[in-house]
Amino acid sequence: MKYINNNLSVEKIKIEDIAKKFGTPTYCYSYKKLKDNINNFKNNFKSFSPLICFAIKSNTNVNLIKEIRKLGLGADVVSMGELMVALKAGIEPKKIVFSGVGKTVTEIGFAIDKKILLINAESKSEIVEIERIAKSKKITVNIGIRLNPNTDAKTLKQISTGKKENKFGVDEKVFFDLVDYAKLSKNIKLKCLSVHIGSQILDHKPYKKMLNVINKIIKRSNYNFEFIDLGGGMGISYEKTNKKLNYQKYNMAINKFLKDHKSKIIFEPGRSIVGNIGSLISKVLYIKENEKKDFIILDAAMNDLMRPALYGANHKTLPVIKTNQVSKKIYEFVGPICESTDKFTTLKKFQKLNEKDLIVMCDTGAYGMSLSSNYNLRPKAAEVLIKGSKINVIKKRQKLEELI
């Protein structure tokens, strides 16, 4: 996104034109940025050409996933819905992995029937269930076991998943038991060790630690894993001050690991693929003056973008038309929902705003639309994908009739 003649634009399209044509709030994605992110991701790890499975949970738009598939990625899914959307987008089953701590019988059966690459199991009970279903279908199913490496990802506690107090994966002892169990089974074939220690990770050191842990465990288990699934979690810069993940160092650590293990690496990135391709366009409905600050009441709310309310996340906010007039008041950007947590950000010295002005909240391509809800019976926003000078509506705004 950049200003062209003071008009914030995505590729060759003015955001103002998107708002005029499709209304607000609207999520807007850049195809070019998507392509760049995927190419960069591939380049960062090209020495061992991993299987890159896009974490569908970060953005579930079928039309966007189709583009991601055309750029060569597979999918990481965590529910039957996500598996269905991945298949509908044309992703080959042999490029799909299924994670999650609570897969139902129906979900497991569906995944088996679709012959996906791996079901990454997260408990002994789940493995027994997969085995039982596979036996009833008289087939052998390829599985992975998710290890909890008890590694601190040094990220927000709400999005940390790799410590022993987290519900994810199994500990070392159970892991060894399960490897032995799988060896004796006729209906499950253990092919993968998987891990995922958390999200929005900006320091390569937790990844290095995680690799050391799995290196030791694989050696002790004396088992040949065809795949090692390292999960996702690669962070992005939401603010200028944010440091960047050092991919080179992460890549080096993986290369070192691969000297001892001849396995195919799988990644499950979400945010690093789609986070910075999207922004949420919103209109100022009202400006309410308050003693210390002005409330900028937007037409987007926490149901459209949950991250600030849920994690205290801050998304860079920009005016769509730049004027260079600075406000003397502090602005608190809020939505219309009846909750005090329906608040996006508080900013000093923002450009002076008027009612009906447009703003965007940046870097909302991951866990923006996918976390949205119909709270307060608000219809979900529209989604558009910009490709050069073309605007493609990839999801229409939800209609109230669909909800009531």
Give the residues lining the site for ligand LLP (CB under 6 A): 55, 58, 76, 99, 159, 196, 199-200, 231-234, 268-272, 307, 311, 366-367, 371
Taking the complex as a whole, the smallest distance from the CB of residue 296 to ligand LLP amounts, in Å, to 23
Catalytic choice (28, 53, 192, 338): 338
Smallest separation (angstroms) from ligand LLP to the CB of 229: 9
| Residue found by looking up tokens 């307060």 in the block | 376
In sequence order, what are the beta bridge partners of 97? Answer: 76, 118
Q: Name the CA radius of gyration of the chain, rounded.
A: 23
Distance CA 225, CA 264 (A): 9
CB of 298 to ligand LLP, least distance (A): 19
How far apart are CB 244 and ligand LLP at their closest, in Å? 15
Q: Residue 235 CB, nearest distance to ligand LLP (Å)?
A: 7
198: which residues sit within 8 A by CB, 6+ positions away? Answer: 153, 155, 159, 160, 161, 162, 206, 233
**Closest to 145 (Cα-Cα) out of 163, 166, 121:** 121
Q: How far is the CB of 99 from ligand LLP (least distance, A)?
A: 4
Mark whether 338 is an active-site residue.
yes
Contacts of 83 (CB under 8 A, 6+ apart): 77, 96, 98, 107, 110, 111, 114, 116
Q: Are 223 and 190 in contact (CB under 8 A)?
A: yes
Integer Cα distance of 379 and 23 in angstroms:
13
User: Which helix (H) or strand (E) covers residue 387, if one does?
Assistant: strand 382-387
Collapsing DSSP to helix, strand or coil, 277 comes out as: helix
What's the closest the beta carbon of residue 76 comes to ligand LLP, in angstroms?
A: 5
Q: What is the DSSP letter of 301?
A: -
Cα–Cα distance, 214 to 176 (Å, whole number):
12
Sequence-ordered list of residues with C-beta below 8 angstroms from that of 213, at least 6 positions apart, any chain? 147, 149, 150, 151
For ligand LLP, the closer CB: 56 or 188? 56
Task: List Cβ neighbours of 212 (8 Å cut-off, separation of 6 or more).
Answer: none
Q: What is the DSSP string of 207-240?
A: HHHHHHHHHHHHHHHT---SEEE----B---SST
Cβ within 8 Å of residue 24, ≥6 positions away: 281, 282, 283, 299, 300, 358, 381
Q: Answer whether 267's CB lies under 8 Å from 45's CB.
A: yes
Q: Which residues are catalytic?
A: 338
